[in-house]
Every structure is written in structure tokens, then in C-alpha cells.
């Protein structure tokens, strides 16, 4: 994606941003800490604060938001929200009535809160610092219409060097497992509520088995391929709490026509 960037050089830097409000343009200010930058999401004028030394969002978050099908009246929860990319994209695309992001790492949650404030969405998006494993204690049962999650993909110690590193926590099941995510989702979704997940195809059998175990019926699936002649490297899934058994497999989504050039379908659907 082509993102416009503004970089912060120190903890006391203050960056002014122009926000469009109808026919008026207002200036918003935000503190950028060392190594942080502001990226333009090219959606509703929204921007996000990121630190490339910690973790920056990727194509998986964009595809998850596009695969979802939320409604304006929905209350949405994003589990493991990181710097808040999925709630921002979901608000921009679906205008949900209220969105909550749950994030265990305080530094990431702080960036998410400042991004929400930067986009003047503090009245619509809440960022909660907390553990996914305890989400059913933080929120009331059956209190969300839909839940999204872009969880850690890797199991255990595979490729792990520093278990306390922010990038390792985002990529490896260090602080929560797939079952933790699915278990709390089953408790927090309303009956008939929808769960959207992006993950890796090599864990597909485990994902479907775990969803069914917690009464989340897989209803829709799409495999994502980097190129037409390569193996899929992502899978997008929708499950419904208490749904009847029947799943639609959508046609494959291919990202690149050639290196650096997105497929026309991706440009049409996602605007990149």
C-alpha cells in the first residue's frame, strides 16, 4: 500500500494534522514519541500512529476489514487490536455504532488511543488495555454483534528469538492461543453474532475444529494467494454463533498480478 508518512523525532514532538469536517478544515495535534510515524490510511482521511520498531499493520488487517460485512447498528469488538488498525478500517468502511479494541500491550494500546483521538473518534471507538484470556471478565456476556481478530499465527517457539519483543507477541502465541480467542468469542458474541478471523492455511483444520467446539459455526471462507501460481498464505473465515452447518467457499483472492502491482479485483474492492 502507498501510505503517506509523517515521522516523529522525539517524545516532545507535536505534529499538526488537517482533518476534513464537512466544508470546514480543522487542525488536530498529537504527540509523537521517538520512532513513531503517522500513516495515511487513505480511508475517510483517517490516519494511524505506528512505530516500525514495534509492529506495523500488514495486508492481513486490510483484508480482514474488507472480508467482514458489518452493519451500522453493530457493536464490534476487535481482539488483539494492536495499534487499532482494524477498528479504524471497520469504522471507515461500515460505520458501526460502536467499536472496541482490546490490547494487552500498553504501548500499542496507547498508540491506538492517540490514533483514535487524532481521527476525532474518541466518542465511537474505545481502546481497552487487557488480556484476551480475560475478555469475558472485562465485557458482559453476549454484548457484541460481531467480533474481529487478526491473532498471532505461529505456534509455540517456532522461529522465536525474544518472547518479550512486541513483534514476537504479535506473531507468536506467547500471550494467548487460538483456543483462547475462540473461547472468549463464543461467550461475548450475541446469538447469531458473527466472528471474522484472518489466519494461516496450515492451521485450517485446527481452526475449524476449534470454532465448532465453541458453537461458532463456520459459514464463509476465502483463501488468499500472493500470486496465482503460489500456495495460499492467508485464510479469511466467518463464523456465526449458533449457526446451522453450511459453509460457502468464496473464489480465491489473488493479491499481486506481478511484483508491486495489485490485481484489478483488489484495487476495485479495497481501493489499492
Q: Which residues contact 242 (CB under 8 A, 6 or more apart)?
A: 191, 192, 215, 217
pTM summary value: 0.85
Q: CATH class for domain 57-270?
A: alpha beta
3-state secondary structure of 255: coil
The per-residue pLDDT string of the chain (272 residues; one tens digit each, 9 = 90 and over) reads 434 444 443 333 444 444 444 444 344 677 798 889 999 998 889 999 999 888 788 899 999 999 999 999 999 999 999 999 999 999 999 999 999 999 999 999 999 999 999 999 999 999 999 999 999 999 999 999 999 999 976 576 555 444 555 544 445 445 679 999 999 999 999 999 999 999 999 999 999 999 999 999 999 999 999 999 999 999 999 999 999 999 999 999 999 999 989 999 887 777 65
Grid cell of 79 as nine digits: 481482539
Separation between Cα atoms, residue 122 and residue 161, nearest integer Å: 36
171 phi, psi to nearest 5 deg: -105, -25
Amino acid at each position: 500500500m502507498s501510505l503517506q508518512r509523517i515521522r516523529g523525532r522525539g517524545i516532545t514532538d507535536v505534529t499538526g494534522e488537517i482533518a476534513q469536517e464537512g466544508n470546514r478544515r480543522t487542525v488536530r495535534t498529537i504527540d509523537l514519541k521517538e520512532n513513531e510515524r503517522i500513516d495515511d490510511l487513505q480511508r475517510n482521511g483517517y490516519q494511524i500512529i505506528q512505530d516500525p520498531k514495534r509492529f506495523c499493520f500488514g495486508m492481513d488487517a486490510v483484508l480482514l476489514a474488507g472480508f467482514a460485512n458489518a452493519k451500522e447498528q453493530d457493536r464490534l469488538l476487535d481482539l488483539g487490536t494492536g495499534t487499532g488498525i482494524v477498528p479504524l478500517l471497520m469504522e471507515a468502511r461500515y460505520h458501526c455504532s460502536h467499536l472496541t479494541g482490546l490490547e494487552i500491550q500498553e504501548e500499542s494500546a496507547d498508540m491506538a488511543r492517540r490514533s483514535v483521538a487524532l481521527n476525532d473518534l474518541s466518542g465511537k471507538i474505545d481502546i481497552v488495555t487487557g488480556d484476551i484470556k480475560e475478555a469475558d471478565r472485562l465485557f458482559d456476556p453476549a454484548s457484541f454483534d460481531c467480533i474481529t481478530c487478526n491473532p498471532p499465527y505461529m505456534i509455540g517457539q517456532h522461529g522465536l528469538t525474544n518472547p518479550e519483543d512486541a513483534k514476537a507477541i504479535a506473531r507468536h502465541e506467547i500471550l494467548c492461543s487460538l483456543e483462547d480467542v475462540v473461547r472468549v468469542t463464543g461467550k461475548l458474541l450475541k446469538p447469531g453474532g458473527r466472528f471474522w478471523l484472518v489466519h494461516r492455511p496450515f492451521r485450517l483444520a485446527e481452526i475449524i475444529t476449534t470454532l465448532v467446539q465453541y458453537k461458532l459455526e463456520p459459514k464463509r471462507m476465502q483463501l488468499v494467494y500472493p500470486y496465482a501460481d503460489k500456495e495460499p498464505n492467508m485464510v479469511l473465515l466467518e463464523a456465526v454463533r449458533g449457526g446451522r452447518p453450511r459453509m460457502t467457499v468464496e473464489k480465491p483472492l489473488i493479491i499481486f498480478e506481478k511484483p508491486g502491482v495489485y490485481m484489478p479485483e483488489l484495487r476495485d474492492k479495497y481501493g489499492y
